[in-house]
């Protein structure tokens, strides 16, 4: 059984969608694509709940760039999610309580 890009992982042995992801790790592409986006691939060690078959494969792919974040073929706006706003924290050195500890 083959899976589509947006589908959840499928067991290659029995075709079940009942999958446990045991462990995940990230692979970051060293070069951007033609639109200047960096691809982050989330890999995982998976086990089928039905037949207990274990394998490693791609859990998801995320493309990050100037135009925003793309997950699969859809941007965050297409998926109904809002863009995250950047939080700025400003600390004045004079506001810190620095005492000499002797």
In a domain, 6, yes or no: no
In a domain, 63, yes or no: yes
In a domain, 36, yes or no: yes
The model carries a pTM of 0.58
Supply the range of the domain harboring residue 63: 19-95
How many Cβ atoms from other residues are within 10 Å of residue 15's Cβ?
13
In a domain, 41, yes or no: yes
Mean pLDDT of the chain: 78
Nearest Cα residue to 37 out of 79, 89, 75, 1:
75
In a domain, 11, yes or no: no
Domains held by the chain: number: 1
Asked if the model's pLDDT at residue 78 lies above 60, the reply is no
In a domain, 54, yes or no: yes
In a domain, 49, yes or no: yes
Token pair 């992982």: residue = 9
Interval 6-44: pLDDT, tens? 457 889 999 888 999 999 999 998 888 888 888 999 999
99 band by pLDDT with thresholds 50, 70 and 90: low
Whether residue 14 contacts residue 37, with contact meaning beta carbons closer than 8 Å, is answered with no
pLDDT of residue 1: 43
């Amino acid at each position: 059984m083959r899976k589509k890009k947006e589908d959840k992982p499928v067991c290659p042995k029995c075709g079940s969608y009942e999958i446990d992801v045991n462990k995940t790790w990230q692979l970051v592409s060293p070069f951007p694509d033609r639109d200047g986006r960096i691809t982050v691939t989330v890999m995982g060690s998976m086990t089928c709940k039905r037949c207990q078959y274990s394998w490693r494969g791609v859990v998801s792919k995320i493309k990050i760039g100037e135009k925003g974040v793309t997950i699969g073929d859809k941007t965050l706006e297409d998926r109904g999610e809002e863009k995250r706003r950047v939080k700025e924290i400003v600390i004045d050195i004079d506001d810190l309580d620095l005492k000499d500890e002797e």
